[in-house]
Amino acid sequence: MSELRLRHDLSWRKISMGKHSVWVVRDPLASDYFYVNDQERSILQLLDGSRSIEQVVRACAKQFAPEHVSAESILRFLADVHRGGMLFDCTQPTAVTCDPVDGGVLPKSRWWQQPFAIRFPGVAVDRWLDPLVPLLQRTARWPLLVACCVLIFAAALLGLVHFDSIATHVAAVASRNLTQTAILLLIVLSLTKVVHELAHALSCRYFGAECRQIGCMLLFGMPTLYCDVSDAWRLPQRYQRIAVSAAGMAAELLIAAIATFAWLALADSTTRDLCVTVMVVCSISTLLFNGNPLLRYDGYYILSDLMGIPNLASEATSAVRKTLRQLLWGEADFDVGNGLEPKKMKWFFHGYWLCSGLYRMFVYTAISLFVYQAAQEARLSLVFALLICTIACIAMRNPLRSLLALPNQHRSTPTTLLRRPIVVTLAALSVLALALVIPLPHHVSGPAIVMPADSLHVFVTMPGRITHAVTSGDRVIAGQTIAELDDPALRLQRLQIEADLHKRRVELKGLQSRRPADTKTMSQIPVIMEVIEQLEARLRMLDEKLDRLTITAPTSGRVDTAGIRNRKVNDARIIQTWAGSPLDGENRGAWLETGTTLCTIGSANRYEAMVLLEQPEIQFVEVGQSVSIHLPNRGRGSTTGQVTEVAASPIDELPIELTSRGLIVSNDSAGQTFAGSFFQVRIAIDVDDLPIAIGSTGNASIDTARRSLFARICEWIRHSMR
């Protein structure tokens, strides 16, 4: 390095970090912040442009004696600071000017480093927030804060007491029209995040720090606000910084508390649906995401302040990188002696880095799979997969380059040095190969609908208008009447034939009573008798048809609906059509055609489920495999069962219960498209004390044979290339 000089436009402030203090350095040009301890600040103050690097190293050895600070650690520290822009080379004619630029220059946003939280440039809002600060200072007193805490605590207790009701309501809202649910969720998320960010901004101004900007961002693909309150790190007291970090979550929890009381007071309505959505978004999702210290959101900064470790994620990453480089290259661990990584904290850094990495991987993978399924429906799965792989490779480039960089002290003897990385690399590849071939649990899932076990379908064999029927859920015995139909035209035809038959019989009786009988009379008698026989046969056939209008139970059991039919509207050709189930009371008088499924009769205590799987998944399913079925309207979580039958051919029609509730996407308004790609799997549900509503829908997960990661990757590639 040449002669370096510390920029004099940097602003310094000492803040408390628990048992020790650190210096916060603000760069007005890049609008960035750095943290250094007293020893590092002393080193930087030696860089006045008149000393060479060698002189700085000698001055440090003299100043910090008897503590030993290696030259290697000082050089590494100066290199890091120089890359951060805090130093400039005095020998370069194009050295950075030390005059701050009005407004600052923001660093370029690297969206691929955080593809699920893409920020756009914002605007300064201090002049808009400043008029609100005096009002906040007058109202934000201890009595109000205590009242808010009591309100949140009371709402949490009510949420626990009514947990089953809330869970049922959430499941009902989620099972409705997918577009309406998505729009409702988007509106709630956007509005609550606006309040969240404004709470950060106001609390930051309340304590005297700057709110640098507020702008828009795409958070997991949804537009929302963000608030840059990084200037809060310059606040001297730790409780102030924690208050700024926690203000957004506190505001959302207060909104969730108000929504909880409103939910309890309201009757079923759209407003009540909105309240339960606000409750979930502002409580559970806020705590899982914003309050989670494993993600770099509010919880992370609170933990960082509580631990007294600024840049916790960076420190953890640095600790892991040092360990890996020591393992890979045998590189010595050089530290300036900042006191941030004592031996007792080493395992904490490693554990935090591992947990944070696994959690981020889980979140990103879950979101990627969700978007991937949407891309599959649009026939863009391969393009999306390539995009994700490209982003992952770009994100991993810098960490791998930092890990694999050759140590400076060994660059002249690379042959000897490379022996260790080769061994370590071979060991890592062996572990990776082993991980790829180890069989892991595997399951396939699909939409399911619950039916009674051993059920028989009851069909209409003679068309007519339904006049009487049992209700769904009634228990019947074999031979019991379950429905009565009527066909006025058929009964009128029977009356006409009966009248004609009576007329013919009277005529025959008259002919037979004539004495003496002439030849003409005797010749008419056989003809009339033949007509009478024909009329009697027609009458018996009509009686059989009329008897078939009375539908009886073929077996004993419980009556349940066999399917739901949508009502056709704006069709003048259809008179008195029926909707829902033929057993419904509002369908009395509706005309039922031959072949209409009236109901099903099955076991009253045993259930089975029909699961639909797509063609790529059906190959893994076998009879006897265990199944877990999640039913949103069931009060006790999931139910279990076993596979009893696997269809060899696809179904002809998609069940309307699944398409109408969005469990299967269909382009046809009648819900009958794409049926050829689904296969039916029959599941015997285990006996449970808690009854299950017939017709309930949910998601079934079938535990199939174990499969290795390598087999799954190969299968995915084959499926994507089709």
- Summarize the confidence of residues 264-273 as an average pLDDT: 87
List, for residues 308-345, the tens digit of each pLDDT value.
887 788 888 888 888 888 877 776 655 544 444 456 67
What distances in angstroms separate CA 673 from CA 176, 379, 656, 666, 678, one per listed residue? Answer: 20, 17, 11, 6, 11
List, for residues 352-404, the tens digit of each pLDDT value.
999 998 888 888 887 777 777 777 666 777 777 788 888 788 878 878 777 77
Identify the bridge partners of residue 701 per DSSP, sorted by sequence position.
445, 628
Which has more pLDDT, 107 or 346?
Answer: 346
Backbone CA torsion sign across 187, 190, 193, 198: negative
Q: Does residue 260 surpass a pLDDT of 90?
A: yes
- Summarize the confidence of residues 395-420 as an average pLDDT: 66
- Comparing 187-191, 481-485, 667-671, the range with the smallest average pLDDT is 667-671
Cα 606 from chain centroid (whole Å): 32
Q: What is the predicted pLDDT for the residue at 337?
A: 44
What distances in angstroms separate CA 89 from CA 80, 483, 597, one per listed residue? Answer: 14, 95, 86
Contact (CB, 8 A) for 299 and 293: yes
User: Residue length, the chain?
Assistant: 722
Would you call the peptide bond into 121 cis, given omega within 30 degrees of 0 as the criterion? no
Q: What is the predicted pLDDT for the residue at 417?
A: 54
Helix (H, G, I), strand (E, B) or coil at 447: strand
Q: What is the predicted pLDDT for the residue at 388?
A: 80
Q: What is the predicted pLDDT for the residue at 106?
A: 37
Name 665's Cβ contacts closer than 8 Å, sequence gap at least 6. Answer: 377, 674
pLDDT classification of 156: cutoffs 50, 70, 90: very high
Q: Does residue 721 surpass a pLDDT of 80?
A: no
Q: What is the predicted pLDDT for the residue at 313?
A: 86
Question: In the structure encoding, which two tokens stand for residue 433, read together?
Answer: 């190969």
Q: What is the predicted pLDDT for the residue at 662?
A: 67
**Cα first-last separation, the chain:** 57
Q: Does residue 281 surpass a pLDDT of 80?
A: yes
List, for residues 74-101, the tens digit of each pLDDT value.
777 888 788 778 887 766 554 444 433 3
Contact (CB, 8 A) for 390 and 397: no
Backbone CA torsion sign across 201, 204, 206, 211: negative
- The residue written with tokens 């000017």 in the block is 97
Strands (E) in 543-585, as ranges, are: 550-552, 557-560
Helix (H, G, I), strand (E, B) or coil at 13: strand
* % of the chain at pLDDT higher than 90: 13
Q: Give the predicted TM-score (pTM) of the model.
A: 0.63
Q: Does residue 606 surpass a pLDDT of 70?
A: yes
Looking at this protein, which amino acid is placed at residue 291?
Answer: G
Q: Does residue 636 surpass a pLDDT of 90?
A: no
Q: Does residue 169 surpass a pLDDT of 60?
A: yes
Cα 513 from chain centroid (whole Å): 90
List, for residues 556-575, the tens digit of each pLDDT value.
888 887 766 655 444 444 44
Identify the bridge partners of residue 6 per DSSP, sorted by sequence position.
87
Q: Does residue 17 surpass a pLDDT of 60?
A: yes
CA angle 173, 176, 180 (to 5 degrees): 90
Phi, psi of 255 (to 5 degrees): -65, -40
Would you call the peptide bond into 66 cis, given omega within 30 degrees of 0 as the criterion? yes
pLDDT classification of 1: cutoffs 50, 70, 90: very low
- Summarize the confidence of residues 15-32 as an average pLDDT: 79
Q: What is the predicted pLDDT for the residue at 637?
A: 55
Count of CB atoms within 10 A of residue 590's CB? Answer: 16
pLDDT classification of 157: cutoffs 50, 70, 90: very high
Q: Which of 51-55, 384-388, 458-462 has the highest mean pLDDT?
A: 458-462
**Over the chain, what is the mean pLDDT?**
79
Q: Which of 72-81, 219-228, 262-271, 366-375 has the highest mean pLDDT?
A: 262-271
- Summarize the confidence of residues 275-282 as an average pLDDT: 88
pLDDT classification of 484: cutoffs 50, 70, 90: very high
Closest CA relative to residue 463, chosen from 490, 438, 439, 443: 490
Residue spans of the domains in the chain: they are: 4-89, 108-308, 310-327+337-405, 444-453+606-721, 457-592
CA 311 to CA 655: how far, in whole Å?
54
Q: What is the predicted pLDDT for the residue at 669?
A: 44
Q: What is the predicted pLDDT for the residue at 92?
A: 58
Which has more pLDDT, 716 or 132?
Answer: 132
Contact (CB, 8 A) for 563 and 657: yes
Count of CB atoms within 10 A of residue 535's CB? Answer: 19
pLDDT classification of 115: cutoffs 50, 70, 90: low
Laid out side by side, the sheet with 591-592 consists of 550-552, 481-486, 464-469, 591-592
Which has more pLDDT, 539 or 113?
Answer: 539
CA angle 155, 157, 159 (to 5 degrees): 70
Phi, psi of 401 (to 5 degrees): -65, -40
CATH tag, 444-453+606-721 = 2.40.30.170
- Summarize the confidence of residues 58-76 as an average pLDDT: 77
Q: Does residue 649 surpass a pLDDT of 70?
A: yes
CA 497 to CA 499: how far, in whole Å?
5
Question: In the structure encoding, which two tokens stand for residue 443, read together?
Answer: 């399951």
Laid out side by side, the sheet with 597-602 consists of 456-459, 597-602, 557-560, 475-476
